[in-house]
Amino acid sequence: MHGPLPGRPSARAAGSVEHQAMLASRLTARDKWLLALLHEHRVLTTAQIQDAAFPSGRSARQRIRDLYLWRAVSRFQPFQQLGSAPMHYVLGPAGAAVLAAEHGLDIKELGYRHDRAMAIAHNQRLAHTVGVNDFFTSLIACSRYARAAGTLVVWWSEARCARHFGDLVIPDGYGRWQASTRNGSEVEWFLEFDTGAESLTKVGRKLAGYARLAESTGIATPVLVWLPTSRREAGARTALARVHAQLDAPHTVPVATAAADLLDPAAPHPSPAEPVWLPLTTARVNPSGPRYSLADLPGAWPGLPPAADATNPAEGEGGDVPAASPYRLPPPSPSPPRATPNRIARGER
């Protein structure tokens, strides 16, 4: 008695002129921003998409379902021994076509292939990539709902970091946090995200690469090491301190560590912006306690120069920044576009 459910368009139909014309009337600025975010960072879970762009899980699920039916995004659910894993989303064929058209490119010039996008479902680094993205999307949520803490103004993926600094070191991400103070001071950092799978000795050896980067650029950029537990952090700090003390210029590689279990579970939007960071070496006593918030971290290193121009976060860090070109589209802003009154009326908050 019920009519057939609407099916998803095929891969061929998703790239047709008719389908693209349909999407032109339905995709919002926030939708296109989300497609760019998936292209830059490869995979996001439902909860991460909600943190990044939606006020509730219900609104996130409704909109992402529409994008899935239009083949703007694709999805998979990894196997999990106990319970069910969250749905994971990647850029879909129709979404790639929209993204390429926005930049005047063909899909091939964009460097997109659907099978490669979906291949992360079987990649051994899936958990690591999801963890890194969770770190940054929680900061976006903090920016959106707790503006008193600050704002995430730059978020680079591992792939983008590799293009700029890969000959010396490959960070798991690059970020910039702007404090919500009168002077609006900023702190930039490279992220090292530890899942507990690597040996602590290997974690410590990465500091030598950051020392070479600081030597070649003349810029000291903090390295933030995020660990799963406080116990793991204690062991990592021992390994990091041993290597850090042997560097020719330790002051050029400021290091701070934090653990996920230090976050306040009762907070509305727990994030790494909280006072959970413990500098490896510090020249100043923090009046609020031994650990610093993200915005206060520069105070732990009085000689740390201010962050580079926000319009060019890699200025002075690895030479000239390549202009936007195929395979190297400019990164999307970490903050989604604000909803207009018309979108709010349609429930697209």
- Kindly state the average pLDDT of the residues 285-308: 82
Confidence of residue 10 (pLDDT cuts 50, 70, 90): low
- Kindly state the average pLDDT of the residues 303-327: 51
DSSP string, 151-166: EEEEEE-HHHHHHHHT
- Kindly state the average pLDDT of the residues 233-250: 93
One-letter amino acid at 52 equals A
How confident is the model at residue 164, as a pLDDT? 93
Confidence of residue 71 (pLDDT cuts 50, 70, 90): very high
How confident is the model at residue 81, as a pLDDT? 87
* 307: enclosing H helix or E strand: none
Q: Residue 96 contacts by C-beta under 8 Å, 6 or more apart in sequence?
A: 35, 39, 107, 110, 112, 114, 117
One-letter amino acid at 247 equals L
Burial level of 52, CB count in 10 A (0-12/13-18/19+)? Answer: buried
How confident is the model at residue 321, as a pLDDT? 40
User: How distant, in Å, are the alpha carbons of 43, 44, 90, 230 from that of 75?
Assistant: 9, 10, 6, 33
Greater confidence (299 vs 32) lies with 32
- Kindly state the average pLDDT of the residues 70-94: 94
pLDDT digits (tens, 9 = 90+) for 26-69: 999 999 999 999 999 999 999 999 999 999 999 999 999 999 99
Q: What is the DSSP letter of 119?
A: G
How confident is the model at residue 133, as a pLDDT? 98
pLDDT digits (tens, 9 = 90+) for 244-262: 999 999 999 999 999 999 9
**How many Å from the N-terminal Cα to the C-terminal Cα in the chain?**
35
- Kindly state the average pLDDT of the residues 162-185: 88
> Does residue 196 carry a pLDDT above 80?
yes
221: left (phi over 0), alpha (psi -120 to 50) or beta: beta
Confidence of residue 273 (pLDDT cuts 50, 70, 90): very high
Give yes or no for a contact between 347 and 165, defined as CB atoms under 8 angstroms apart. Answer: no
Domain locations in the chain? 11-123+336-345, 126-300
Confidence of residue 303 (pLDDT cuts 50, 70, 90): confident
**125 vs 48: CA distance, rounded Å:** 17
> Does residue 316 carry a pLDDT above 50?
no
pLDDT digits (tens, 9 = 90+) for 330-339: 899 998 887 6
> Around Cβ 8, how many Cβ atoms within 10 Å?
14
> Is CATH 2.40.30.10 the right assignment for the domain spanning 11-123+336-345?
no
Give yes or no for a contact between 270 and 264, defined as CB atoms under 8 angstroms apart. Answer: yes
What does pTM read for this prediction? Answer: 0.88
Q: What is the mean pLDDT of the chain?
A: 86
DSSP, collapsed to helix, strand or coil, labels residue 325 as strand
pLDDT-wise least confident of 69-83, 148-162, 187-201, 332-346:
332-346
Give yes or no for a contact between 304 and 222, defined as CB atoms under 8 angstroms apart. Answer: yes
What proportion of the chain, given as a percentage, has pLDDT over 70? 83
How wide is the angle at C-alpha 20 spanned by C-alphas 18 and 25, nearest 5°? Answer: 100
Three-class DSSP labels, 180-232: CCCCCCEEEEEEEECCCCCCHHHHHHHHHHHHHHHHHHCCCCCEEEEECCHHH
> Does residue 177 carry a pLDDT above 70?
yes
Give yes or no for a contact between 314 and 171, defined as CB atoms under 8 angstroms apart. Answer: no
User: At 154, phi and psi to the nearest 5?
Assistant: -145, 135
- Kindly state the average pLDDT of the residues 139-147: 87
Pairing of strands 255-259, 278-279: antiparallel
pLDDT digits (tens, 9 = 90+) for 201-224: 888 889 999 999 999 999 999 999
